[in-house]
Amino acid sequence: MIDTSNGERLCVSALPDAAPYIDLPLSQVEEVCRRLDRAGISYWVDPWAISIDDEPETTTINFSRYIDAARIQAALDDIP
């Protein structure tokens, strides 16, 4: 899936000792949530959206630290 704000691949951030998350444009949250639901992946969407320097609003989708980031990325990339 492509990030509409920068034209690059939408990627899961997975840092050591931290839960995976996705920062994304607010306009893409609904589609990403549909893909995650289809894949049976639990998540929660940050209730806050921000805009910096008049850029489109962004928010964060958060995941449990126990879920495999590669599974989340596969859902974003629409890989079965």
> How far apart are the two ends of the chain, measured CA to CA in Å?
14
Residue 5 resides in a domain: no
Residue 44 resides in a domain: yes
Residue 42 resides in a domain: yes
Total domain count, the chain: 1
Residue 67 resides in a domain: yes
pLDDT digits (tens, 9 = 90+) for 23-68: 999 999 999 999 999 999 999 999 999 998 988 899 999 999 999 9
Residue 7 resides in a domain: no
Over range 67-71, report the average pLDDT.
Answer: 94
Domain extent at residue 53:
21-76
Residue 71 resides in a domain: yes
- pTM flag (> 0.75): yes
